[in-house]
Amino acid sequence: MITKLLIDGGMSHPGWENEIHTFGADRQVKYLCDNYPKYDGIKTAFILGSHDYSFWKKAGHNVGIEIQQKRPDLVYLGMSEGNLRLGTVKVKMVHPSGGMP
């Protein structure tokens, strides 16, 4: 499985605080690790985007590394881009600027 947005980060745009239910890096990582589906033999590759990156910019906290340490089935590929191989196919995941992944 390939995904991008796992947590909402610490962004602050108008109305943001009404759109999420879990605030702070530690709580968001815990919520993700406790609630993200886990299936035997299936791994999820992910990158961080601007929301996740906000924790890095504000406090130097790389939530991608922490998530992978707590959930080895969640494979962290990089801050805003990463590469993986699916059989003979190479996949590059990129979070572009402008808000649309």
Q: Domain segments of the chain: what residues?
A: 2-13+21-94
Threshold 0.95, pTM exceeds: no
Phi-psi region of 48 (alpha: psi -120 to 50; beta: other; left: phi over 0): beta
Identify the pLDDT of residue 16. Answer: 66
Mean pLDDT of the chain: 80
Burial bucket for residue 68 (CB in 10 Å: 0-12, 13-18, 19+)? middle
In percent, how much of the chain has pLDDT > 70? 77
| pLDDT per residue as tens digits for the range 68-98 | 999 999 999 988 888 988 899 998 888 777 6
Q: What is the DSSP letter of 4?
A: S
Q: What is the DSSP string of 5-46?
A: ----TT---TTGGGT-S--SHHHHHHHHHHHS---TT--EEE
